[in-house]
């Protein structure tokens, strides 16, 4: 399907090129993007549309992969997992924008750092609801970055993150429905930080939701490798999520840091037992 789509795109480019006395002489492909090179040394990007059927994420058992209940991350963010285009299929399922407030901050660079979600204004005591049906993977205090947070994994492979909550109103492994209250906010923080993720890699929630109306953009939403391009410029080796069999010495060797540095940054001892799913900071 990708080859057919590219062929059609190239035909269109060639037809345009003919009328302008330009000929496509070569193509260079990377992920879902191809660069068409013309004989006059100009070039043009062509974005390959994914096969909406074969690229759809199929997650029959949403607990089957990296079901970590002790961290907001099931894996570390990793740009290597973004190379293939995919499609999030909502299949007409119910959806709900997670809060009633206005968008106060978008996805992207902010004050020199990457803001991996959107911020929605909250008043004290405002309810935060699940965006879609799913199962709670994490619920509770997550650390200073996200504070009280909830992570829900949905039946199409998507995960949604709800952070800076005043109180959590759900439990790990609890099934929740779209629109069901999972937390409240607005007191300690005047906004909800909301993320959408695929395999722990965050992408712009406004690809899924119209933040102005709260409506779902479409039932089938293509996600491209280019939606994660920001990750090329973010150092994702700052943290490590503990997996079964990990030791401090092995983690230190993997990331070329010292055991002492890991212990100092995380307030642990060299003799500490590592909990699976714990997120260890590796560098200051």
13-22, 166-175, 254-263: lowest mean pLDDT where? 13-22
| Residue 236: pLDDT band with limits 50, 70, 90 | low
User: Nearest 5 degrees, angle CA 169-CA 68-CA 272?
Assistant: 105
Q: Which of 12-26, 61-75, 202-216 has the highest mean pLDDT?
A: 202-216
Q: What are phi and psi of 80, to 5 degrees?
A: -60, -25
CA angle 109, 112, 113 (to 5 degrees): 60
For the ranges 18-27, 28-37, 131-140, the maximum mean pLDDT occurs at 131-140
How many residues are present in the chain?
A: 284
65 three-state secondary structure: coil
pLDDT score recorded for residue 26: 67
What is the per-residue pLDDT across 107-153, written as a single tens digit (0 to 9) for each?
Answer: 998 887 889 999 999 999 999 999 999 999 999 999 888 999 999 99
195 against 35, higher pLDDT: 195
- pLDDT digit string (tens) for 250-265? 988 887 778 998 998 8
Helix (H) or strand (E) holding 135: strand 134-141
What does residue 252 show for φ and ψ, rounded to 5 degrees? -60, -45
pLDDT-based confidence at residue 234 (cuts at 50, 70, 90): low
Handedness of CA 87, 92, 98, 104 (dihedral sign): positive
4 confidence band (pLDDT: 50, 70, 90):
very low
Residue closest to 128 by CA, chosen among 173, 191, 215, 49:
191
Spatial separation of the C-alpha atoms in residues 46 and 68, rounded to whole Å: 38
In the three-class reduction of DSSP (H, G, I as helix; E, B as strand; rest coil), residue 125 is classed as coil
To the question of pTM greater than 0.85 for the whole model, the response is no
196 burial (CB, 10 Å; 0-12 / 13-18 / 19+) is buried
The model's pLDDT over 60-76, given as tens digits with 9 standing for 90+, comes to: 467 778 899 988 998 87
């Amino acid at each position: 399907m990708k080859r057919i789509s590219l062929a059609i795109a190239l035909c269109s480019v060639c037809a345009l090129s003919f009328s302008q006395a330009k000929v496509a002489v070569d193509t260079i492909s990377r992920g879902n993007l191809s660069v068409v090179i013309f004989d006059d040394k100009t070039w043009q990007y062509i974005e390959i549309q994914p096969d909406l059927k074969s690229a759809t994420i199929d997650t029959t058992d949403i607990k089957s992969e990296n079901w970590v209940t002790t961290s907001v991350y099931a894996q570390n963010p990793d740009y290597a997992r973004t190379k293939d285009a995919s499609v999030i299929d909502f299949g007409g399922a119910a959806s709900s924008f997670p809060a009633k407030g206005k968008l106060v901050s978008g996805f992207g660079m902010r004050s020199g750092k990457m803001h991996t979600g959107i911020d929605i204004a909250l008043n004290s005591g405002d309810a935060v609801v699940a965006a879609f049906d799913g199962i709670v993977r994490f619920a509770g205090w997550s650390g200073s970055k996200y504070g009280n947070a909830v992570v829900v994994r949905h039946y199409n492979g998507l995960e949604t993150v709800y952070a800076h909550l005043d109180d959590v109103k759900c439990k790990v492994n609890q099934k929740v429905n779209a629109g069901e209250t999972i937390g409240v906010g607005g007191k300690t923080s005047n906004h909800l930080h909301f993320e959408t993720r695929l395999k722990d890699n965050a992408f712009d929630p406004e690809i899924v939701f119209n933040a102005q109306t709260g409506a779902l953009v479409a039932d089938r939403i293509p996600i491209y490798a280019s939606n994660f391009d920001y990750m090329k410029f973010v150092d994702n080796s700052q943290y490590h999520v503990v997996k079964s069999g990990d030791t401090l010495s092995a983690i230190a060797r993997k990331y070329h840091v010292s055991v002492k540095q890991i212990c100092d940054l995380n307030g642990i001892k060299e003799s500490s037992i590592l909990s699976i799913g714990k997120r260890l900071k590796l560098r200051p």
